[in-house]
Amino acid sequence: MNKKFLFGMIASSFIGAMMALGGYQLVVEDQQTNIVSQVNSESPVNFTNYVFDSTNFVVPEGLNFVYAAKSATPAVVHIKTKYNAQRANGNNPMDQFFREYFGEQYEQQRAPGMGAGSGVIVTSDGYIATNNHVVEDADEIDVLLNDNRSFRAKVIGTDPDTDLALLKIDGENLPFTGFGDSENIQIGEWVLAIGNPFEFRSTVTAGIVSAKARNINILARGGSNTRIEAFIQTDAAVNPGNSGGALVNLKGELVGINTAIASPTGAFAGYSFAVPATLVKKVIFDLKDFGAVHRPLLGIRISDVNAELAEAKDLNVLKGVYVASVGEASSAFDAGLEAEDVIIAIDGKKVTNTSQLQEQVAMNSPGDKIEVTYIRAGKTKTTIATLKNALNTTAVVKAETAKSFKVEGAILAPVDNEVKQKLNIDEGLQIQDIASGKWKDAGIEKGFIVTKIDRQPIGSMQELTAALNNARGEGILIEGIYPNGEKAYYGLGW
């Protein structure tokens, strides 16, 4: 691991405990204030007449940091988590990162564990968006509001592939922040980061948008092939404790959830990264409405187009997304996309790299139609793709109400408790019917209970979907047992 420049997750759930024992030393520097323009902070903001003129730009009256901070800060909360000893010594992918930097001191903090982070109230009845790594495996989650009210929170759902989570507290008429348009936010635009770094509550820092659709390969540590990294990069100071906090524009609108930093030390060193609000909105309202994220997939393996690839493949374009392969029966397959196509736009919006493509697709749901613009043999073409989920269907089903579901010709359903007790298994999905398709071709028969895929326990539609997502384009190992107690193993191309 390269310690000179390491993209580190702001793992508030771990660093909060380390701070209490002196893991960090705060250095207070002299404040230097650079006054750009004098404005009346009490005057109303008139956004109707806000027109950007790059040659003669003047900050409109009232368009300043004060307004945005006053507007958004009440909706940003302080999250405190507690972990028992067993969970605190789990297999979180960030463990290795912190062990390398803090060694024995980190290990000594682990049992019992306590952490801290931030969150953003997004509805008046108490739904809170935050990072998955802030609350992951927590046994207790407490939320402290800006007005000092305290609530016990419950986890509604999590999505490690975007490092997002949705919490709920019991409250009414709570302050909340509205969603801004992160898709059209501009590089160079001012933004504020609001959170609770180093336990300093309601801290506001300012910066500009440095880049968009940035992939820093940090979620790859979780082992998922369906991670989505299209971060907004800023130079607003973000530190441990800011995780899950708000990135807002000068209107006070939420444009991102602060998630990660680029740092050789674990503290801010110049750049921070936020999940864009358009993706946040999609994920948390899926979690709210369905209990799981309904992730749409084109069903292709992709890579960024660069000069080397363009020369090797004789492409006449230097930007875009190269299609390495197309999955059978996938959305892309049905739409007529082929290997060696170069995708350059989704719904008329340019995509120059894989992060932009993933973000544009992820904002949709299975069953939605998107327009794909691509180049094949030097000619620009368009097609309409109907997005599917990892099971190659367009179904959108609530997690708590799904009784059975179809996967490649096989109908699976959760195993009832009587069967689990008889076979001495903790969980599994039983094949109720199997007529044709890949499962049938692999030799799997009706009644077989899938207990693991690639050694990962399977007990729900979400776990099955995640396992198949990770295996997309590769072979998988299916482990299970028949009702007579006979154990079986199958290899399945996916």
Diameter of the chain measured on Cα atoms: 79
Q: Is 243 annotated in the active site? A: yes
Q: Is 314 left (phi over 0), alpha (psi -120 to 50) or beta?
A: left
Give burial (CB, 10 Å; 0-12/13-18/19+) of 136: buried
Which residue out of 12, 71, 161, 163 is catalytically annotated?
163
Which residue out of 12, 13, 243, 330 is catalytically annotated?
243
- Measuring CA to CA, which residue among 228, 197, 350 is closest to residue 296? 228
Which residue out of 13, 78, 133, 330 is catalytically annotated?
133
Please, are residues 258 and 240 in contact by the beta-carbon 8 Å criterion?
Answer: no
Please, are residues 331 and 369 in contact by the beta-carbon 8 Å criterion?
Answer: no
- Measuring CA to CA, which residue among 166, 213, 162, 169 is closest to residue 187? 213
Q: Is 163 annotated in the active site? A: yes
- Token readout for 321 is 């997304």
- Token readout for 239 is 């530190």
Q: Is 78 annotated in the active site? A: no
Q: What is the 3-state secondary structure (H, E, C) of the chain?
A: CCCCCEEEECCHHHHHHHHHCCCCCCCCCCCCCCCCCCCCCCCCCCCCCCCCCCCCCCCCCCCCHHHHHHHHHHHEEEEEEEECHHHHCCCCCCHHHHHHHHHHHHHHCCCCEEEEEEEEECCCCCEEEECHHHHCCCCEEEEECCCCCEEECEEEEEECCCCEEEEECCCCCCCCCCECCHHHCCCCCEEEEEECHHHCCCEEEEEEEEEEEECCCCHHHHCCCCCCCCEEEECCCCCCCCCCCEEECCCCCEEEEEEEEEECCCCCCCEEEEEEHHHHHHHHHHHHHHCCCCCCECCEEEEECCHHHHHHCCCCCCCCEEEEEECCCCHHHHHCCCCCCEEEEECCEECCCHHHHHHHHHCCCCCCEEEEEEEECCEEEEEEEECECCCCCCCCCCCCCCCCEEECCEEEEECCHHHHHHHCCCCCEEEEEECCCHHHHCCCCCCCEEEEECCEECCCHHHHHHHHHHCCCCEEEEEEECCCCCEEEEEEEC
Active site residues: 133, 163, 243
